[in-house]
């Protein structure tokens, strides 16, 4: 009898991978922090990961992330020019989560 019905597999679905803008490591999206450029040209951390706009990703595990986040890397990844205020906020939030 060949009526084999596939029960919903518990296999892990491949989750999306993104590249960290600091160390260039490709990681599971869940292991990265998303930084988003909003429609009004602000740059901020996207806590939900669902905000509209161009995103850049950095490792959540900062101790394994080699390198430093620079303004240039954010500007480059988001094709923008981050304002002084946003850059400061971003650093504050990343240093003191
Ligand atoms: Zn990294």
Judge residue 69's burial from the number of C-beta atoms within 10 Å of its C-beta, 0-12 exposed, 13-18 middle, 19 or more buried: buried
Percent of all residues in the chain with a pLDDT value above 90, rounded to a whole number: 75
Residues 6+ apart with CB under 8 A from 91: 69
Taking each helix axis from N to C end, the angle separating 71-78 and 84-95, rounded to the nearest 10 degrees, works out to: 110
Superfamily of domain 17-95: YlxR-like (3.30.1230.10)
Q: State the distance from the centre of ligand 1 to the C-alpha of 96, rounded, in angstroms.
A: 17
The predicted-structure confidence for 29-71, as pLDDT tens digits, reads as follows: 999 999 999 999 999 999 999 999 999 999 999 888 999 999 9
Measured between alpha carbons, how far is 34 from 15 in angstroms, rounded to an integer?
15
40 alpha carbon – ligand 1 mean position (Å)? 27
Domain ranges in the chain are 17-95
pLDDT at 65: 93
Give the per-residue pLDDT at 2: 57
- Return the DSSP state at 40: T
pLDDT at 8: 61
Q: State the distance from the centre of ligand 1 to the C-alpha of 19, rounded, in angstroms.
A: 8
Give the strand order in the sheet containing 32-37: 43-46, 32-37, 54-59
CA of 70 to the centre of ligand 1 (A): 12
Give distance in angstroms: CA of 94 to centre of ligand 1: 13
Q: What is the pTM of this model?
A: 0.82
């Amino acid at each position: 009898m060949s009526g084999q019905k596939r029960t919903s597999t518990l296999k892990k679905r491949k989750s999306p991978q993104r590249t960290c803008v600091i160390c260039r490591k490709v990681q599971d999206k869940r292991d990265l922090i998303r930084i988003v450029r909003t429609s009004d040209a602000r740059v901020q951390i996207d806590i939900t990961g669902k905000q509209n706009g161009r995103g850049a990703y950095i490792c959540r595990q900062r101790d394994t992330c080699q390198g430093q986040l620079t303004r240039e890397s954010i500007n480059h990844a988001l094709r923008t020019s981050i304002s002084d205020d946003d850059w400061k906020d971003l650093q504050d939030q990343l240093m003191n989560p």
